[in-house]
Structure 1
């Protein structure tokens, strides 16, 4: 049975995508720590990031850097953080998070609910910076 991220990738569940290529996608977290919090996810269902083939791992990092650069331009944080936790969904994913202080790297500070129109606006803004 397909996992939740595969269902999002396959458009069986909604997602606010900002990046897509043959190997991975990036979409906004529905429980963001900060506006623009994005997940970079390989299309392949690989549970643990240590099992990701090196070429794909390098590609995920390049995409995460592109997303982080767009977050800097879109949201003006002093830093962008990166977390690979892997506890909440058994499908490798990189959390790329605009950070204003160290608390922005704590999942305890994630929002439990965000209006879809707020996510759509953040995705539009990020896409505009990724395209340029």
Structure 2
């Protein structure tokens, strides 16, 4: 069972920003920027392109909704999208608020936020999503 499946099962806490029957979006605990969110299907599948067509297209549509909420909540020029898939064997999409190309550089040091800061960021994104 992947760490993401443990989050879905409620065994590991996460700063959730959006959830549906099939998908979950939560803050990355080692973010590149404030508001860096991971979007996953709740069904554990290792590789994004191994998802069946229905789950894949649903994930993309859910990701778009979450990205719109991030853009409203976090000051940024764009919301970048990255799929790397090597860190956790569970399909996931990174949504990263970007102002500079280097904001999406996974080789640079990650940021660290307090629980209070993460809670505040998650609440900002959730509030922006409720406005839709």
What TM-score results when the alignment is normalised by the length of structure 2? 0.94
Structure 1 runs of 4+ aligned residues shifted over 3 Å read: none
- Partners of 1:114 and 1:58 in 2: how far apart? 32
Q: Which residue of 1 aligns with 2:44?
A: 45
CA distance in 1, matches of 2:109, 2:8: 22
Does the 8 Å CA contact 1:31/1:110 hold for their aligned counterparts? Answer: no
Are the counterparts in 2 of residues 34 and 98 from structure 1 also a CA contact under 8 Å?
Answer: yes
**CA separation in 2, counterparts of 1:9 and 1:94?**
15
1:130 is matched with 129
Return 5+ residue gaps in structure 1 as ranges: none
Structure 1 stretch 50-59 or stretch 88-97: which is displaced more? 50-59
CA RMSD of aligned residues (A): 1.1
- CA displacement at 1:109 relative to structure 2: 3.0
State how 1:84-123 maps to structure 2 within 5 Å: 84-111=83-110, 113-123=112-122
Matched ranges for 1:78-89 at <5 A: 78-89=77-88
Aligned length: 131
Report Cα offsets for 1:80-118 as digits up to 9, x if no partner.
110111000000000011101111111123525321111
Give yes or no for contact 2:33–2:111 (8 Å, CA) kept in 1. Answer: no
> Tell me, what secondary structure is at the counterpart of 1:109?
coil
- d(CA) in 2 for partners of 1:109, 1:36: 17
Cα separation, partners in 2 of 1:100 and 1:63, compared to 1, 3 Å? same
Question: 2: distance between equivalents of 1:71 and 1:110?
Answer: 22
